[in-house]
Amino acid sequence: MKQHILVIDDEGSIRELLGTFFQARGYRVSSASTAAEALRVVEDTLPDVVLLDLLLPDADGLELLENFKQTHPDLPVIIMTGMGSDESLLKEARTKGAAGYVSKTDPLDKLLREVELQFPSM
């Protein structure tokens, strides 16, 4: 069975790019553009890993991360940000349970490595 990735980002081009990228590597991909939509997807079809943008139109990504960790403590959530590598933000994300943290400007291979770390048996 294919591993399921949920991409949460308000930018359609990012959702499309990541969907195409991960599908080409054998993953099943769902996407959401808002926190409300993401919460529904997680409840309906629990993904194996979440790629979460920090800035969403209806919620702060770190608050959504906390929600996911409260309801699904074992769900790996990788934070994506367009703000580059901010050490205090990275520390806060890790404290709140993030499995990883990548900048949207990083090469996609770095994001792929972060995802693959969540599936050690693959």
- With respect to residue 41, please indicate whether it lies within any of the assigned structural domains: yes
Task: Round to the nearest angstrom and report the end-to-end CA distance of the chain.
Answer: 12
The pLDDT assigned to 121 comes to: 63
- With respect to residue 12, please indicate whether it lies within any of the assigned structural domains: yes
Asked whether residue 111 carries a pLDDT value surpassing 90, the answer given is: yes
Whole-number Å distance between alpha carbons of 15 and 35: 14
Number of domains in the chain: 1
Q: Are 62 and 92 in contact (CB under 8 A)?
A: yes
- With respect to residue 122, please indicate whether it lies within any of the assigned structural domains: no
- With respect to residue 71, please indicate whether it lies within any of the assigned structural domains: yes
- With respect to residue 85, please indicate whether it lies within any of the assigned structural domains: yes
| pTM attached to this predicted model | 0.93
**Structural domain span for residue 99:** 4-113
Q: Residue 85 in 3-state DSSP?
A: coil
- With respect to residue 119, please indicate whether it lies within any of the assigned structural domains: no
Least confident of 25-34, 88-97, 105-114: 88-97
CATH number at residue 32: 3.40.50.2300
